[in-house]
């Protein structure tokens, strides 16, 4: 092991040179189970915190959209069934952003792409707060869907660029910082529906919630601009903000970076490895599981316990709370146990929590099951994102683009399929799709575990 570690030592100040023995440089955020980070410490820069704020700004609308949609359709006087189209518009915008992001990053760079995405997000939120109400009726609702599409384009685009920027800036701790970024997003997401409820209780209109997201986005853009003045720009590739004197060593997940044989996205882009597609199966399963429970957990609680719609909806906040708590403590667990073990354990805990929810005969037990599921799912999504970057063969922006497409497809399809099943069977029976998704996710995790790349 000592010889292998010595062979992998590579001074980051000498990019473009292969390390001794012809071994490609690798990285992983874990100091356990196959890897040692020779004393390397996570150093969060002003840009790191700014990217966290950008992700939280987008999350403030993601978690707001669900509870806001029924209020929106009621205010505009259109059928309640139309509320589900808000999620479809969001998914379409996110998929479009994913398809466009690599080309935009190649042209503008990641930092400018983040600023552009936030600008689009802010502009679209202003329109959303004004135009649908002014038009009213079906015309107002259709307009709202179009605007939500652009909200998702801006939010999703800056998220894609920001996540790749984090991975490149913190190559030795990417899983930890990506999980931290998602923790910040989850806490803001937890606050959004609660603040919307307070606003509605105070007699304010539905678009008060949009103003909350707008304020968060303005703060994030300001933070990003200020951070950019003190941080070197992050191109599509290149070294990050980790200490260049520190060394990357053998770990259980490898990441090729800054090797002349592996050009960055936008400069001789290659096809992603086949194993990347297996990781995307795990990502689809993780997102589909979370959104299936988020959309259909409330009807399941009502069916199982006889609770009112308002009580069941309030109970659903425990799922988001579990996600927020898990993503807060997750980085330390990742550093201790490793990404692969946390992925398997996360899916397992989510399944246990679902079982409690599925069998629950009381609201209290349902809350316990939802919280446990949230804890399990909390780190799965960011860790699979990181694994996709790990497996991208030095193309993090392309990996984030493909990951976002998978995410959008999962958001658009999983709740819809469950809804279709719910029309021919009970919600409880339809929700048995969740254990199937978890099993698929575990298979994707096991089948995509990276290996440290070595040249012959």
What pLDDT sits at residue 451? 67
Quote the pTM value.
0.67
Can you give the pLDDT at residue 15?
37
User: What is the model's pLDDT at position 40?
Assistant: 52
What is the Cα–Cα distance from 372 to 47, expressed in whole angstroms? 33
Closest-CA residue to 87 (of 15, 148, 142): 148
109 contacts 235 by C-beta, under 8 angstroms: yes
Q: Cα-atom radius of gyration of the chain, to the nearest Å?
A: 22
Q: Residue 197, class by beta-carbon neighbours within 10 Å (0-12 exposed, 13-18 middle, 19+ buried)?
A: middle
Please tell me the predicted confidence (pLDDT) of residue 142.
94
Residue 355 to residue 428: CA distance in whole angstroms: 11
Sign (positive/negative) of CA torsion 180, 445, 26, 158? negative
- Kindly report, residue by residue over 111-127, the tens digit of the pLDDT: 889 999 999 999 999 99
Specify the pLDDT at position 10: 31
CA 346 to each of CA 321, 322, 325, 442: distance values in angstroms, whole numbers, following the listed order: 15, 12, 13, 9
Report the C-alpha gap between 358 and 365 in whole angstroms. 10
CA dist 451 and 28 (Å) reads: 11
Other residues' Cβ atoms within 10 Å of the Cβ of residue 46: 16
Longest Cα separation, the chain: 71
In the chain, which residues have pLDDT < 50?
Answer: 1-39, 235-267, 453-456
Q: What does the domain layout of the chain look like in residue ranges?
A: 8-447
Q: Give the Cβ contact number of residue 100 at 10 Å.
A: 16
| Phi, psi values for residue 388, rounded to 5° | -60, -40
What pLDDT, on the 0 to 100 scale, is given for residue 324? 86
375, 354 contact by CB (below 8 A): no
The pLDDT value given to residue 14:
36
Domain 8-447 fold is Growth Hormone; Chain: A; (1.20.1250)
Distance CA 436, CA 360 (A): 20
Distance, in Å, from the CA atom of 26 to the CA atom of 19, rounded to the nearest integer, reads 11
**For position 232, what pLDDT does the model report?**
61
The distance in angstroms from the start CA to the end CA of the chain is 18
């Amino acid at each position: 092991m000592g010889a292998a570690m010595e062979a992998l030592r590579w001074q980051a100040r000498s990019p473009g040179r292969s390390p001794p023995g012809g071994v490609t440089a690798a990285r992983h955020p874990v100091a356990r189970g196959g890897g040692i980070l020779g004393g390397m410490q996570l150093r969060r820069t002003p840009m790191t915190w700014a990217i966290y704020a950008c992700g939280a700004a987008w999350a403030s609308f993601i978690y707001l959209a669900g509870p806001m949609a029924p209020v929106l359709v009621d205010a505009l006087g259109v059928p309640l069934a139309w509320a589900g189209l808000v999620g479809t518009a969001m998914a379409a915008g996110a998929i479009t952003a994913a398809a466009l992001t690599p080309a935009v990053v190649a042209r503008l760079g990641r930092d400018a792409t983040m600023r552009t995405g936030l600008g689009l997000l802010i502009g679209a939120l202003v329109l959303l707060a004004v135009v649908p109400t002014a038009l009213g009726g079906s015309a107002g609702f259709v307009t709202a869907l179009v605007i939500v599409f652009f909200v998702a384009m801006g939010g999703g685009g800056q998220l894609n660029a920001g996540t790749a920027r984090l991975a490149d800036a913190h190559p030795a701790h990417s899983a930890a910082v990506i999980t931290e970024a998602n923790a910040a997003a989850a806490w803001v997401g937890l606050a959004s529906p609660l603040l919307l409820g307070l606003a509605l209780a105070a007699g304010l209109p539905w678009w008060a919630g949009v103003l909350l997201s707008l304020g968060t986005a303005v703060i994030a853009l300001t933070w990003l601009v200020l951070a950019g003045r003190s941080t070197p720009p992050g191109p599509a590739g290149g070294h990050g903000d980790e200490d260049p004197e520190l060394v990357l060593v053998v770990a259980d997940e490898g990441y090729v970076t800054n090797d002349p044989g592996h050009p960055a996205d936008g400069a001789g882009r290659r096809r992603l490895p086949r194993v990347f597609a297996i990781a995307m199966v795990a990502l689809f399963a993780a997102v589909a599981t979370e959104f299936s429970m988020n959309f259909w957990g409330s009807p399941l609680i009502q069916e199982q316990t006889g609770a009112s719609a308002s009580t069941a909806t309030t109970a659903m906040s425990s799922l988001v709370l579990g996600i927020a708590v898990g993503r807060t403590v997750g980085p330390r667990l990742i550093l201790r146990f490793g990404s692969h073990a946390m992925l398997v354990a996360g899916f397992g805990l989510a399944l246990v929590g679902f079982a409690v929810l599925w069998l629950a005969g009381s609201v209290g037990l349902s809350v316990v099951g939802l919280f446990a599921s949230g804890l399990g799912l909390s780190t799965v999504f960011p860790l699979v994102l990181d694994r996709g970057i790990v497996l991208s063969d030095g193309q993090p922006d392309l990996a984030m683009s493909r990951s976002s497409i998978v995410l959008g497809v999962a958001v658009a399809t999983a709740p819809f399929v469950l809804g279709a099943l719910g029309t021919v069977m009970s919600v409880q029976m339809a929700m048995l799709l969740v254990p199937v998704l978890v099993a698929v996710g575990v298979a994707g995790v096991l089948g995509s575990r990276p290996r440290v790349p070595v040249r012959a």
